Structure 1
Amino acid sequence: MTVDEFLAWAEGRPGRHELVDGYVHAMAPERAGHARAKIRAQRALEDAIARKRLPGEAMGDGMTVRIDARTAYEPDALVYCGTRLPRNDTIVPAPVIVVEVLSPSTGFYDRHGKLAGYFAVPSVRHYLIVDIDRLMVIHHARDGDDIRTRLVPSGPLRLDPPGLDLSVEDLLGPPPAESL
């Protein structure tokens, strides 16, 4: 299946799916901690964009990143720069930052398969993996032809380009409470 065939297939279909090498993969139901982390990531990115008054937008899950003709991912959050996307668009053509929150069902693929996939997209400069169990952010950044990786348990996080400043605490939120 191509990405275009996948998008037509997925239109109006219940559940969330991604396309990997032409095959549809259903996404598992998410847990409360994962849902909270996705919202926090989007909010942190929106706040950082607003502070810098940058042209661009943070989007939550539901938007698609086309990796190639037969692969499309749906990150938990992303940032693109430039003009606002039309209301009915489902693909973000040039994301600059993509965020995945690790979950038990997708953690291995998020750390490995998606790393190569996202950086195959020329516009992607930062891939943030939010690890809510280990309370850290894994920051992969494009540096010329290389990808730098930092494990960031706390403190500031500079995402340049596009020039955003936020903190790991903004992404992780308060320490988890098992009773919540």
Structure 2
Amino acid sequence: MSIAAETPMTVEAFLAWAEGLDGRWQLLDSRPIAMAPERAAHLLTKAQAWDALYRAVGRAGLPCTVFPDGATVRVSARTAFEPDALVTCDPRVPPDAIEIPNPLIVVEVLSEGAADPTFGAKLENYFSLPSVAHYLIVDPERRTLIHHRRGRGDVIETRILTAGPLPLEPPGLALAVEDFFVPP
């Protein structure tokens, strides 16, 4: 369940407006949308996904940063999302930043029983950013990971995985699908 605010906004106006509000908000086509409260399984899976990426970046010795939810990704002047985790290898992220530029990997965790009205728009919008190489959708209920990867030209390659290796190139991370899920 979500609630859409009625006032059309730019990303700048949205970020100023949302800063003092409770809960998570996203902006789609200039309309602020409140996201539904998160259940425990969703929260634990988000933490697990962040931890998996954080450990993989550390193992690879890459100069990348893994951010948990709360960081905003601007995809246009009127659309900004708050993914559940993201990786950027851009060293220019100031400590007081609200927006994270140039995400390389974006992660969304599906919520049980809560429809996200931005879900359908995210694939196209995230890949409109030249920096995005991977968009991962984690389904904790089915223990499935959907990996969208930028291919050649305009091609977006999609794999649906339940186990096994998950190499993310770029930036050169070695993970396993199982790393994204809380052990049963």
Category of TM-score, reference length = shorter chain: over 0.9
TM-score normalized by structure 2? Answer: 0.91
Q: Tell me, yes or no, if structure 1 residue 172 matches structure 2 residue 144.
A: no
Distance 1:140 1:101 in 2: 14
Q: What does the per-residue CA deviation read over 1:89-141, in whole Å, with 9 as the maximum and x for residues that have no partner?
A: 0111100000000113235743x221111111110000000011111100000
1:137 paired residue among 123, 142, 145: 145
Aligned letter for 1:32?
A
1:69 aligned residue: 77
Secondary structure of the residue that 1:124 maps to in structure 2?
coil
2:103 aligned residue: 95
TM-score normalized by structure 1? Answer: 0.93
Deviation at residue 47 of structure 1 after TM alignment? 0.1
> CA 1:109–1:20 in 2, change beyond 3 Å: closer, same or farther?
closer
2:32 aligned residue: 24
1:151 paired residue among 126, 151, 160: 160
Contact 1:127 1:141 in 2 (8 A): yes
Contact 2:90 2:101 in 1 (8 A): no
Deviation at residue 85 of structure 1 after TM alignment? 1.7
Contact 1:132 1:172 in 2 (8 A): yes
Deviation at residue 83 of structure 1 after TM alignment? 1.1
Question: How much is the aligned-residue C-alpha RMSD, in angstroms?
Answer: 1.2
> CA 1:106–1:94 in 2, change beyond 3 Å: closer, same or farther?
farther
Deviation at residue 16 of structure 1 after TM alignment? 1.1
* Structure 2 residues without counterparts, runs of 5 or longer: 1-8
Structure 1 vs Structure 2: percent identity of aligned residues? 53
Distance 2:75 2:115 in 1: 18
Secondary structure of the residue that 2:83 maps to in structure 1?
coil
Distance 1:134 1:83 in 2: 36
Distance 2:86 2:104 in 1: 7
1:178 aligned residue: none
Secondary structure of the residue that 2:49 maps to in structure 1?
helix
